[in-house]
Amino acid sequence: MIVVTGATGHVGRALVDRLVAADRPVRALTRDPERARLPRKAEVVKFRLDEPDALFEGASGLFLYVQAAGAQTPALLGAARKAGVRHVVLLSSGIVQEGADETHPIHVMHATAERQVRDSGLEWTFLRPHAFATNALQWAPQIRAGNTVRGVFADMLTAPIHEDDIAAVAERALVDGGHEGAAHRLTGPGATTNTDQIAAIGRAIGRDLTFVEVPPEEAGPELFPGAPPEFVRSLLKSFAATVGVPPEITTTVQDITGTPARTFAQWSKDHATDFRTP
């Protein structure tokens, strides 16, 4: 049995789908099972952090999404180990690397989780993806409303990774041996700018879209809804550092799964309905 936290998130849902398709027992944890719309063959369980022991009965593996447990991550890991879980695969971040800005809030969150996993006594594997292709969903409301997308840093360079490619690596790490103690850095197969991504989404939905750059000092709540000001400042600083700088590109997805990582153009086709007006 593999327990998946963050089961209704992009990566978690893709992982649950993969495990179900492979006829592997999977327990999907979610705070609202009634609205989760997860596969019937998955055991969907309410994620109650006040009763963590009950979540891991009969489980041998755990997929851990950092934000699912938050400050209670050590207690969750302790309950997993007590119940007999042997291996945890942590969805971390590519920001965790030598020379990184250790004060960046994304680094703090993931580096802390990695330390907690190491201290848990469980075997572990860290997945460190860089930019998620699903970040482009932030533009969906603008695309549904018109053909112009406003955003910061038109020329920032990233190598966005398809969420199902992350899930494919997670599946192999949980099911196959040999990934214990590894930190896998994951990226898409090529660099794209924000302008490139908007054009790819336009092609996928059959429309001519235009990206209009907004000066970072004018980036308001509509571009980063709900984000605290200090977090936005850290993001903008990170984004600015990518302009004209080729991103790290790895072959990890292909090396582990045997299938090349999917392009952003393919991701756009897979998610075309997300950008179309209902």
**Residue 87 pLDDT exceeds 90:** yes
Question: Taking residues 140-167, what's their average pLDDT?
Answer: 96
* 185 vs 53, higher pLDDT: 185
Question: Taking residues 211-227, what's their average pLDDT?
Answer: 79
pLDDT recorded at residue 205: 97
**Residue 226 pLDDT exceeds 80:** no
Confidence (pTM):
0.94
Tell me what percent of the residues of the chain surpass a pLDDT of 70: 99
Q: Which amino acid is at 55?
A: L
**Residue 22 pLDDT exceeds 90:** yes
Neighbour-count burial for 257-275, b at 16+ CB within 10 Å, e otherwise: eeeebbbbbbbbeebeebb
How far apart are the C-alpha atoms of 75 and 64, rounded to whole Å? 13
pLDDT recorded at residue 60: 95
How far apart are the C-alpha atoms of 85 and 59, rounded to whole Å? 6
Q: Which amino acid is at 64?
A: L
Question: Taking residues 117-144, what's their average pLDDT?
Answer: 96
**Residue 30 pLDDT exceeds 80:** yes
Q: In the predicted model, what is the mean pLDDT of the chain?
A: 93
Question: Taking residues 86-91, what's their average pLDDT?
Answer: 98
**Residue 61 pLDDT exceeds 90:** yes
**Residue 35 pLDDT exceeds 70:** yes
Are 28 and 16 contacting, i.e. CB atoms less than 8 angstroms apart?
yes
Are 93 and 67 contacting, i.e. CB atoms less than 8 angstroms apart?
no
pLDDT recorded at residue 222: 65
Residue 140: burial class (beta carbons within 10 Å; 0-12, 13-18, 19+):
middle
* Number of other CB atoms surrounding residue 13 within 10 Å: 23
Delineate the domains of the chain, giving CATH numbers in brackets: 2-129 (3.40.50.720), 132-161+187-247+260-278 (3.40.50.720)
